[in-house]
Chain A
Amino acid sequence: MSKRILVVEDQEDNRRIVRDLLTSAGYELLEAATGEEGVRLAESHRPDLILMDIQMPVLDGYEATRRIKGTDGLRQIPIIVVTSYALSGDDAKARAAGADAYVAKPFSPRELLAKIRQFLP
């Protein structure tokens, strides 16, 4: 059975790129366009990994990560945070929110795939 990855990303194009990349790599995709939806899908579908964008309206990636990491049963799901500003100390904030790894935009799809494979061999 293929691994399920939840992508929480408000940008349609970014979701599409990740979707095309990951489905071609054999993963099953779950998509959420907002932080709230991301938390809901994480609870209902229990994915094997979550790819979390930081810059989202209303509920941002940090808060969504904190909620998921604060929920019993979801805590163990690895979360890779994707930030836009590589240089503004987002990695430290991501770790503080409980993220397991950190990818800075612009990420190359190849790099992202490599990072995901660290958690889902």
Chain B
Amino acid sequence: MYKEIFSIINKEFLYFIRQNKVIFFEIILPITSFLPLILTVWFLEGNTSYENFAYFVGTEHINNYYVIAFFGFIFFNISENLATLLERELYLNTLEQILLTPIKYISIIIGWFIYLCIKSIIYITVFYILAILIIDTSVVNIPLLLIGFTLMMLHSFILGTVMVIITLYLRKADAIIFTLVGILPIISCIVFPIQILPLSIQLISKLLPTTYLFDLIKYSLSGSRMIFDVWVTVLILFISSLIMFFLSIIFYKKSFERLKICGIMKY
């Protein structure tokens, strides 16, 4: 299995390296994506009073608080790209060949996930260097941030698997995935506290594990007010991730095996 996973990672890196133009753009993507955010925070910091922000969020660490947007970017980038990688194989008509090789269904998705994680860690390093140099950020609770980051990766894998299942079923699922990626950050309250949402949406937000996930990371970054206590949040996340992990893997296995039997054309 390790060899299979390694071969998938190797394949993706070889594919990545072959495209000279894209490498350059992939490297500068985190910089260009986050400069607008950094500049907006800088502008708001110098142009507005903290009172309202502190009242809602429970902290005055505005710079630290907005670093969460980057974690959100990584989270959704991994999930969305898992589906995009599958879509690419569908589009290039190579999925059928992959299906017929002895590679296991789980090795494919884990290989893609590890490849995306490596890219994300590079992004995070570049971003943090920029953030520390430009907007003077720090972390309030590093061990908790590491726990939050690990849980975030696990959740991004789960969401990515769900998106892969959607793509396998619908084949042309770009718009649904874009919508999911558009709506989830809002309902999960990534860059604002839950109290700012209308009451009806707050109820929906509280049903999503991603709300607690980003709540935990925001707390570890800036010491912001939380919905529940730290350990209750960690427990909720741990249990929800376990349940969803197994559910997503079961559904992924089912759709993959069905695809293996029917083939792409009849699927």
Verify that A and B bind, or say they do not.
Answer: no
Q: Which residues of B contact A (CB under 8 A)?
A: none
